[in-house]
Amino acid sequence: MSAVDEVFVRLRADSKKAFMPFITAGDPDLEFTADCLRALDAVGCHLIELGIPYSDPIADGPTIQASYTRALNAGTRLDAIFEMVGRVSSEVKAPIVSMVSYAIIFRLGIDEFLRRATAAGFSGAIVPDLPVDESEQFAAKCEDADFSLIQLITPTTSGDRAVQIAKKSMGFIYYVSIAGITGERKELPPELIENLTSLRKMTELPICVGFGISQPIHAELLKSVADGLIVGSAIVRRMADVKDDVSRTRTLKEISEFASTMIQAID
């Protein structure tokens, strides 16, 4: 089993749900990212999703787009991300999962990406621009490395295709709550519960919900039908004004308190 599998085996045994925050690597710099990883782990986050900055948005809303731009403008590059994760992963109990464009993996090469990602301490990857039909080679090598390739299912995915994706997924299924881009929302789609209930009948894999999740009330709504929640924009927007030691300390405190609130709501 991968480290991601082990988390969900443990949580299911205890009838618990997972909280998975998303942060952008290198926003505003990699030392702050390292501090965020430590802080989110310290408050009990079950997994942490680390976005690898990329110039072309893939379903990213304005908050995460801006975060990627800040990180790239600051000079964040893949080599430095691997180095930082390699330094921090031994201190962090929560598995770290990358959100990464397949263009980055392809350019580096599948074998080299997996070698470096696993050596650094990544436990899996979400690759939003890799269709399941084209994922066979990468998926096979991920499975051999006990590295979870997490696939996405959306509200517009047909039932037959959802079954196909679920069969090829590892670790958990990332269910996209809306047909749209990432971003905080006050209300979630009314059909979301029904969609998740239908998907649950198709697979025994854990199902984690992302896109639009931003408030404890969302956790209360979804914890009976989902195995975990993924929250990005509500955390990433708090990093936009980090400029000095005072704002770094304040933002780390805000992020930690927000994560703690969400964990309590889903527990």
Active site residues: 49, 60
Q: Phi, psi (5° rounding) for residue 103?
A: -60, -35
Best CA proximity match to 50, nearest among 93, 89, 98: 98
Is residue 19 packed enough to be buried (19+ CB in 10 Å), middle (13-18) or exposed (0-12)? buried
Partner residues linked to 126 by β-bridges: 99, 150
**Coil, strand or helix at 189:** coil
Task: Give Cβ neighbours of residue 10 (< 8 Å, ≥ 6 apart).
Answer: none
What stretch of H or E contains 125? strand 122-126
Task: Give Cβ neighbours of residue 20 (< 8 Å, ≥ 6 apart).
Answer: 45, 46, 47, 48, 49, 97, 208, 228, 229, 230, 231
229, 193 in Cβ contact below 8 A?
no
Best CA proximity match to 65, nearest among 75, 74, 55: 55
